[in-house]
Amino acid sequence: MNIAYSTELICFLILSAVIISGSLAVVLLQNIVYSAFLLGGVFMSVAGLYLLLNASFVAAAQILVYVGAVNVLILFAIMLVNKKEKLKPIEGLKNRKLISGGVCGGLLILLLRVSITTQWNIPGPTSIGEEATERIGEHLFTDYLLPFELASILLLMAMIGAIVLARRDVSIPTDYLNDMKNKKSLSDKKIPLLTENSLK
């Protein structure tokens, strides 16, 4: 048994176990903060799978974008809206979960059957190593130039849209503005460092 192949197999098994158990925990755990952190673990393991598939650039992009940006964004959203609220009970929730579980299990069985029974006529994994990054750059600036530019426009639109949607509409009353003009600045106001209650 070749040691490289067995190492690859062990890494693959560990990473896929982390991915499957982590994704189940993301969906099933009650505490959403735990599931957000476990989602970061799932993203990291997916990046590890990309490394096994000889794609170092995409693995780095996955870690930067997903773990560094998307996961942090989700954590911030959780902290902004984190309120313990009693969810209203809904009749037939158990039935709904069971039915959707059946549908998803059927979809899973279908996908597994297709992927196992198909005779994949493939040349096998080929690696071009570090040349992959150069190749991606060539693709992005030659035959995928239009999607690349569209992606930049999409990112700009998403950024502006997110700002517009999440901005709080603050309407400052005019007398408050006049007050602010009369006061010079906050540092001119006499703010006691210690209140009288704290001195006692």
Q: Which two tokens stand for residue 136?
A: 């991606």
57 contacts other proteins (rule: CB under 8 A): yes
Near other proteins by CB under 8 A: residue from 24, 34, 179, 183: 24
* Residue 172 Cβ vs other proteins, minimum distance, rounded to whole Å: 18
Q: State the residue for tokens 């997903």.
A: 66
* Residue 199 Cβ vs other proteins, minimum distance, rounded to whole Å: 39
User: Phi and psi for 167 in degrees, rounded to 5?
Assistant: -70, 135
27 contacts other proteins (rule: CB under 8 A): yes
d(CA 122, CA 131): 22
**Are the beta carbons of 122 and 129 closer than 8 angstroms?**
no
54 contacts other proteins (rule: CB under 8 A): yes
145 contacts other proteins (rule: CB under 8 A): no
Q: Please report, as a single letter, which amino acid is at residue 48.
A: G
Is 155 or 180 the residue whose CB approaches other proteins more closely? 155
Largest CA distance in the chain: 83
In the shown chain, the binding pattern of residues 74 to 113 toward other proteins, with x for contact by CB under 8 A and - for none, equals x-xxx-xx-x-x-xx-x-----xx--xx--xx-xx--xx-
* Residue 12 Cβ vs other proteins, minimum distance, rounded to whole Å: 5
123 contacts other proteins (rule: CB under 8 A): yes
Near other proteins by CB under 8 A: residue from 41, 43, 44, 48: 43
Near other proteins by CB under 8 A: residue from 168, 181, 189, 190: 168
**# chain residues binding other proteins, by CB under 8 A:** 86
* Residue 173 Cβ vs other proteins, minimum distance, rounded to whole Å: 20
Q: Which two tokens stand for residue 26?
A: 């993301």
For every residue of 126-170, DSSP letters joined together read ---TTHHHHHHHHHHHTTTHHHHHHHHHHHHHHHHHHHHHH----
**Are the beta carbons of 49 and 62 closer than 8 angstroms?**
no
